[in-house]
Amino acid sequence: MKILAGNSNLALAQAISDYLDMPLTEASVRRFADEEVFVEIHENVRGEDVFVVQSTAYPANDNLMELLICIDALKRASARRITAVIPYFGYARQDRKPGPRTPISAKLVANIITTAGADRVLSVDLHAGQIQGFFDIPTDNLYGAPVMSADIQARFGTEELMIVSPDVGGVVRARALAKRLDNAPLAIVDKRRERAGESEVMNIIGDVTGRFCILIDDIVDSGGTLCNAAQALMDKGAKGVAAYCTHGVLSGGAVARINQSVMTELVITDSILPTDAVETSDKVRVLTIAPLLGEAMRRIADESSVSSLFD
């Protein structure tokens, strides 16, 4: 078993390496003057079970090309099995046709990764479960809920909790977390999105009066949805609001928006390398998913059960 790291999130790759007590494979992943990606592996990988750790976050296209070229290099070096470990799967939000003459880019990216030579994919909290079916190779979708529920119990265990989904589409995710938290009650924010990147909160389904609300989502990008939902919950009498999101995309002025919101904190994972703005924010906290990914990788290499991680 070997671990190869791309440049998108070296800190997470190193944390996984430390968890498994296994050094990262020596390799060069660099750019030519015209920004072409070049990969050179400095160790023998013939017959090895190799895991390539690479999130396809910003810059998404550069990081995706790095992943593809790493896979191709390993395939041509006769690796026995290549697993693409993609903590954050970019393009996942383009999982269906929202209108006429639009692409399903998540399927296209899945095809490209498979064609490059990946034998297996390991990801965390895919935006839509059906993306697993876009791949024609085995795909494991890990859940961040165990990491988050443990943190919620440690931090807010004494509060009267209510788990809140910021939209109707996230109810299954919110219900799964609520079940882990001794079947905490569930509320839903009914919102109407007028245009991409903007949302308007319309109504709160459920009585949140006097309760500490935990907003749960898979991706936080602009932060507008969470901030509007938090304000609506406070207006309805919530005692306080915190948010837990697996993937902190946090583009543009998202961190500043979170800092000015009524939320006590936003908790994200290190599936995407935290920016300087995230690290200096008083309201954004990062949980590591390195043990979760490391344990899943160990079980894949040992041919043992991955699903039992979540029992």
Domains, the chain, ordered by start: 2-142 (3.40.50.2020), 145-288 (3.40.50.2020)
Residue 134 CB-half CA count within 13 A: 24
Distance of CA 197 to CAs 194, 200, 225, 250, Å? 9, 11, 8, 12
| pLDDT score, position 308 | 85
* Nearest by Cα to 151 from 209, 247, 216: 216
**Residue pLDDT, tens place only, 217-260:** 999 998 988 998 999 999 999 999 999 999 999 998 899 999 99
Instruction: Check pLDDT > 90 for residue 78.
Output: yes
pLDDT at 141: 94
- What's the rounded Cα separation, in Å, for the pair 63 and 55? 7
Binding site: residue ranges? 34-36, 93-94, 127, 167, 193, 217, 221-225
Q: Binding site for Mg(2+), residues?
A: 127, 167
pLDDT value of position 198: 60
| Catalytic residue from among 2, 191, 236, 239 | 191
Burial class of residue 158, CB neighbours in 10 A (0-12, 13-18, 19+): exposed
Q: Which two tokens stand for residue 35?
A: 């920004």
Residue 191 among the catalytic residues: yes
Query: Tens digits of per-residue pLDDT, 141-199?
Result: 999 999 999 999 999 988 899 999 988 888 999 999 999 998 899 999 987 666 665 65
* SS (HEC) of 182-213: CCCCEEEEEEEEEECCEEEEEEEECCCCCCEE
Nearest one of 252, 255, 254 to 282, comparing CA atoms: 255
What pLDDT sits at residue 194? 62
Q: Are strands 186-195 and 198-205 parallel, antiparallel or unpaired?
A: antiparallel
